[in-house]
A and B are shown apart, each in its own frame.
Chain A
Amino acid sequence: MNRKQELRRAFPCGLMRREFVWQMGAGFAGTALAGLLGSEGFFNRAAGAAEVPASSGPLAPRQPHYAAKAKSVIFLMMNGAPSQVDTFDYKPELAKYAGQALPEDKEFINSGNRKMGFLTPAWRPFHPGGESGLLISDYFPNVRQHADKLCVINSCHTDSHAHGSALVAMNTGKTFIGRPSLGSWAVYGLGTENQNLPGYVVILDKRGGPISGQPNWSSGFMSAAYQGTLFRPTGNPILNLERPAHIDEQAQRAQLDLLAQLNERHLRERHGGEDLAARINSYELAYRMQSEAPEAVDLRQETAQTLEMYGVGQEPTDEYGRNCLIARRLVERGVRFVQLYSGGGHLEETWDAHESIEKNHGRHGAEVDRPIAALLTDLERRGMLESTLVVWGGEFGRMPFSEGQDAPGRNHNPYGFSMWFAGGGVKGGMQYGETDEFGFEAVRDKVHLHDIHATILHLLGLDHEMLSYFHQGRQETLTDVGGRVVHDIVA
């Protein structure tokens, strides 16, 4: 019997979902009881993720569908959309065509009806990196040192030219809000290793959240147990972690002791109190989290050399360096999925370089290049890179032409853009797919955003078609009708 059949057998038709009883074990996202066992989700007829042991919460670690390459994902989200021809997609022909218009047979939507300019070569030179000689521009000189770890996908394309919907699509697979995000699918499928921390963490840029906000890390129609948790990079990283001023640890301990005694009496007087017991347990976990979560962001435990490497305490790298370092610490502690935003708010505060590639990418590149390089170094030297998939990219790319005569900015481009993967079981020093000679649209080995999602799930050991969630009469999946795993990049 193959794996899929086994999974089906674990959830034969007709078995009442409510007959599964979660025992204790209310972790960060804890134990979801009767209501979660309702008509939606995990327990309806077909199994989405692997078997759930009877005694576990929704975020208890689960076996993948097949041997996983990666245990965790760090998604470096370049909010606002970096320009591929200025970063990871070397197009020498642009110099040749500089000043000319894109050929007329190339069709596209002029997002926002911006001025139409002329083909413009990269604003900074490209140089080969590593033994592979991958060509990477001078906006990422430090990342270039890691060229042999990178698998650059030059043929990405997506479904929207507008930031709001494209970002939601990059996070959830669809251009409209309301669906679970990639991180939610990951923790739904695999649970998480550390029940005292959230399984899916999002750290925003201090300049602001992404357009469309919370739907970007929502669990959509899934249980809220799978939604992303916003982490603040200093102090108390999550909500309600700080005790009010007049309650010290001792006072709270006394409260919890009384609470436990009252709850135990309440439980003893009742039959079948799995829900009550789970809630009792959740308080002990909450108590532990109050020390564990701040510990995870406490960078005083890192050496000066490490802080220096990430650029912590220096400008302009301090913020993203801190976030990258926290991401490593979270993954080290068993967090499944971490997403770090670079760019927040609007326009030039993000990678949305309408005004000037050089000014914008110069600024944002300098903020993230060294921290990202440090993250790759750090993961490798700790032996974590093999099991940690690092993903870099924005919601789409940018046009190879300017926004007017000699204008230094570029408009949105969903037709072709670059992302890269590193670690987590992908081949290094590799380039996959191509755009046309202008870097305008993906033409060879095209990779749709559903393919990106399918591949990320695959590296986590999850089959994107099998990982389904029963909602409103339908087996919903992240990739919906589309999605193919890009096997060529898997090591």
Chain B
Amino acid sequence: MFRCPAHRCLPHSLALVCLAALLPTTARGQSATKPNFERDVAPILVMRCLECHNERQAAGGLVLETQEAARRGGDSGDVIVPHDVDASYLMDRVEAGEMPPEKQGRPQPLAAEETEILRRWIAAGAAWPAGRRLDLFEQTTEVRAGRDWWSLQPIARPEVPRVAAAQQPGNPIDAFIRARLDEANLRPAPQADPRTLVRRLSFNVIGLPPTREQLERFAADPSEEAWEQLVDEMLASPHYGERWGRHWLDVVRFAETSGYERDQEKPYAWKYRDWVVDAFNNDMPFDRFVLEQVAGDELPDRDEQSVIATGFLRLGTWNDEPNEPLDYQYERLEDLVHATSSAFLGLTVKCARCHDHKFDPIPQQDYYRMAAAFWPGPIAPGSREHLGGPSPEALGYENVLGWTDVRTEPPPLHLLHNGERHHPGEVVEPTPLSFVEALLTSAEADSPSTQTTGHRLRLAHWIANPDNPLTARVIVNRLWQHHFGQGIVRSPNNFGFRGDRPTHPLLLDWLAAKLVDGGWSLKPLHKLILTSETWRQSSDHPRHDAYADIDAGNQLWWRAERRRLEAESLWDAMLAAAGELDLSIGGPSFRPTIAAEALEGLSRKGAAWTASPLDEQNRRSLYIYTQRSLLVPFLTTFDFADTTLPCAARDVTTVAPQALALLNNALVHRRSRELADRILAQETSGDLKRAAKLAWLYALGREPSEDELALARAHLEQQQTAFAQRLAANEKAGESLGTPSLPPGAVLHLTAEAGVETDHIGRVAGWGDQSPKGFDAVQAVAANRPQFKSTSKDGPSAIHFDGQARFLVLPSLELASEDVTIVAVVSDLASDGHREIFSNWDGAAGNSVTSLFLGLTGDGDVRFSDDFAPAGNVTARERPFVLAVVNGPHQAAVYLNGEALAHREAPLSPRRLDTQFVIGQQGNIGGEYWHGDLYELLIYDRPLSEPELAGVGQYLGERYSLAPPAPRSPEQLALESLCHVLFNSNEFVYVD
């Protein structure tokens, strides 16, 4: 049962504080006079009585909205008897402290002054102006907003202010801002320097660092015209849509899975993401943007794209196993009402689900009016097949995540008292919401579709109507917010009573009017903002400290805000600096490699996070797969948006785990290495100074100062010496740095470079174990022996299996536990059928389903025993590759060439280890033979750690020429260290 949190919506603390402040002014000095109805009495009745004693609820049969109703009294008889306080039951209850009633055990008595007003009012005859109907929502009071609330008023078209103190700015935005600054006697900060501006512009508009060409061009010619050209360039970039689309994805709770236990994929959610990106890039008029998302399936000119847009309604979480399916339909309605009203209207309509809104003039009916638009959709409990959406047939398109009505005549939607399904009230029709008075009788647009009800299309037209004052205000506020760091209304999803008031109401309206008058096109507004002096001022004001005392929140915009890069920009900026960023746009999402230990917490056995091929992983982070049960830790560490509810503004936290992520995460080290290599490819002379300069240019877009250069050189020298010393020490131990050696402690180590014993025609009879254990492999039967290939121009030594009954036996190998790591360097020439590298399958001994093996099947699908298959896929198999599988107490995982390939949050189910291990076939079945070369085979009787596995992959990769062969030199490592420091620096992470 849904229990309505009604009283919680009332902030007792706030209400009491404000009421206390209000009372003295209401009652002051009026003891002798007759109370004035409008001034003194009506506020008490509206604020303290009407919540229950209105015509809809009529608690105790009493309605206090009109004089007639009040005189009629309630179930207990007369309530207000003019001139007779003692006979007025209202006063009995009020003076006994019974009315207003207590809430959650807390008494809510009227203040003595209020009681006194009522007493004198009744004593004086309880005058009530003729025809006066009190309405809970009629006007804003100290405790709630009425329909006269600022955000609900028609958008004014204010005059651009004349600025007295300075030359009249050419850009109206500056006039509005300067006017307020002048009033406060504040001067704006000077304009930021060209480099800062270009960097700010680029991150702000496209979410990427600027190119060196852009930086240099504007530094050489920082003219107005050059700036305007740069702004145009940025706004025309296809990466603008990626950047600004991401802001919208936060607002619409975008994710690609359903959440909850099974967390099913929402197939083709990425098409909605691409639709958003395209809409921004094509500067789709914002009214159209609304129409397509709310009712793209009902538009006369509907097409596949407009149906994809209705994915907006499909993005919420979806529970396929709700506790009570009939109740769950109302949860889904709330998600839709909340997503729609917060995204487009900036109001918390959902708060009126159980009762009239406690702070805004949103009666409960309005909630249901909006909900009724979604009611004919796939809301009712039904088959899980379409994950709470319509069938492709109903939608009219295959492979689209969209929304449409599935019932043209749905059952009536009842308002639910207290939000409880068992207490239905009146039937509510999908009519315009009452709080926008200008649109109460708006013409209804009819849907040409006979498949649908047209309800959503009417709702969409109501939202997108130029006379709906919320829609334009809310979106221009979002633009301002993402350009400046804070909105003009600093609670971007709440323009109601409990939200913040606009800091510049006239400017907000001027921008909103400009948007509507300009055909709802966003790009001209972006340009107007970006070319304003306000946007271009420095984040550093020469009189910072004095000004901060006056306006610490920078509400008047006397400087720009310094901003930390969002998670995505940080990720992308490192890739860009390293020269690795793949800027291809759109398409299915990719899964980045995630450390196995970050994958804990998934309950589904066999649920694997399979990293995408590395060549896809360098795309922009916008394209990272958003799985609700497993958001990428690097992103969440840097305050990625919550995906369950609409997120209008991300948190910006500064926490130690962020430092740890940038210091130790493999991702950042890989970028540092790539950047170092990029620099070394250009700077081959070994000149430390020039290398450092390039590091600054690539990472920070500027040259270092002499002072910084000195620090950098000292660091490079210090690190080179240290790395060289370690290298020397390690060489003594037969190891290198950056190319780590194999971890010690292998219980089996076979390498074709050593210990191979062949017969007279080069077939392998024995293969000596290089580990101290001496678990040699043998093949006594000549016909079953694989061929030895010694090192040649074709490659290093290998044991060649031809897929024809060749295999080796490991007669003495014993594994004590299933916590094991198996590493094989192999090539694979087969393209179908099972084939095994290593196995102890023995059906007769009874381990046909509990054997431990490693092999491939089909087109390169990895099988790590039958319990974990497929476990990733190997595409390029003809050349040697390093396949490592790990089974530990917490997980099983597969690595290809040192990179995570597949992982699951559960070890293999128990394995039987007491049967004989063989190499090159499936245990003793006499089949599933390997076809390819085996270069090296290592077994550890423990799960290797992530860095160890990376090291193994790197070591073997270099040994078998899978990766750049040269070990990292001290010079490379030192430069890598410097690049890494720059990626960690405040200058990299903040935008001035």
Contacts and interface: CB of A to CB of B under 8 A. Distances in A.
Contacts of B981: 255, 258-259, 262
A2 to B, nearest CB: 12
A473 B496 contact: yes
A18 B890 contact: no
Contacts of B199: none
B18 A13 contact: yes
A250 B492 CA distance: 47
A279 B565 CA distance: 13
Interface string A1-43: 0001001100011001111010000111111111110111000
B655 A26 contact: yes
B813 interface: no
Contact of A279 (B7, B631, B654): B654
B359, B948, B986, most chain A CB atoms within 10 A: B986
Given A176-B331, A240-B663, A245-B951, A164 B723 contact: no
Interface in A255-281: 255, 258-259, 261-263, 265-267, 269-272, 275-276, 278-280
B656 A241 contact: no
Contacts of A213: 263, 601-603, 629-630
Contacts of A19: 552-553
A39 B605 contact: no
Contact of A481 (B3, B348, B973, B992): B3
A28 B317 CA distance: 30
A408 to B, nearest CB: 23
Contacts of B16: 8
Interface string A463-476: 00100101011111
A66 B922 CA distance: 68
Residue with the highest number of chain B CB atoms closer than 10 Å, among A19, A271, A283: A271
A244 B667 CA distance: 11
Given A165-B319, A266-B986, A472-B493, A13 B104 contact: no
Interface stretch (A231-239, A363-371, A430-438): A231-239
Interface string A226-254: 00011010011011111111111011101
Interface stretch (B524-532, B541-549, B682-690): B541-549
B711 interface: yes
Contact of A12 (B17, B649, B990): B17
Given A283-B659, A475-B11, A481-B8, A241 B719 contact: no
A155 interface: no
Given A176-B331, A214-B630, A482-B3, A209 B602 contact: yes
Nearest to B891: A206
B553 A33 contact: no
B655 A225 contact: yes
* Among A166, A230, A251, A285, residue most surrounded by chain B Cβ atoms (within 10 Å): A251
Contacts of A240: 657, 660-661, 663-665
Interface in A74-118: none
B603 A251 contact: no
Interface in B685-711: 707-708, 711
B765 to A, nearest CB: 38
Interface in B617-655: 628-631, 633, 636-637, 639, 642, 644-645, 649-655
Interface stretch (A120-128, A216-224, A379-387): A216-224
A199 B588 CA distance: 38
Given A33-B653, A38-B490, A221-B645, A243 B323 contact: no
The size class of the interface chain A forms with chain B is 35 or more
Given A161-B323, A255-B977, A474-B351, A239 B633 contact: yes
B8 A474 contact: yes
B986 to A, nearest CB: 5
A208 interface: yes
Given A254-B718, A285-B656, A209 B323 contact: no
B45 to A, nearest CB: 24
A405 interface: no
A26 B711 CA distance: 26
Contacts of B552: 16, 18-19, 21
Contacts of B654: 26, 30-33, 275, 278-279, 282
A319 B888 CA distance: 14
Contact of A239 (B260, B595, B602, B718): B595
Contacts of B649: 35, 38-40
Contact of A164 (B13, B261, B650): B261
A61 interface: no
Contacts of A248: 726
Given A35-B652, A176-B319, A246 B603 contact: no
A271 B541 CA distance: 7
A18 B555 CA distance: 10
B553 A220 contact: no
A160 B322 CA distance: 9
A360 B745 CA distance: 38
Given A39-B499, A215-B644, A271-B544, A252 B663 contact: yes
Contact of A286 (B14, B331, B360, B656): B656
A468 B657 CA distance: 26
Contact of B657 (A36, A47, A238, A255): A238
A241 B666 contact: no
B260 A177 contact: yes
Contacts of B711: 258, 261-262
Contacts of B18: 13
Contacts of B497: 473
Interface in B934-949: 945-948
B660 A289 contact: yes
A346 interface: yes
11 contacts: A16-B555, A18-B554, A33-B653, A39-B500, A163-B261, A212-B260, A252-B663, A254-B722, A285-B656, A346-B604, A475-B13
**Closest 9 pairs between A and B when the two form their complex, measured CB to CB:** A35-B652, A271-B544, A30-B655, A178-B644, A286-B659, A18-B553, A39-B491, A209-B601, A473-B498
Interface of A: 4, 7-8, 12-13, 16-19, 21, 26-36, 38-40, 45-47, 58, 159-166, 175-178, 196, 204, 206-215, 220-221, 223-225, 229-230, 232, 235-236, 238-248, 250-252, 254-255, 258-259, 261-263, 265-267, 269-272, 275-276, 278-280, 282-283, 285-286, 289-290, 319, 344-346, 465, 468, 470, 472-477, 480-482
Given A33-B652, A246-B738, 12 more contacts: A17-B553, A19-B553, A28-B656, A29-B657, A165-B323, A176-B317, A206-B889, A209-B603, A224-B637, A251-B719, A474-B9, A474-B351
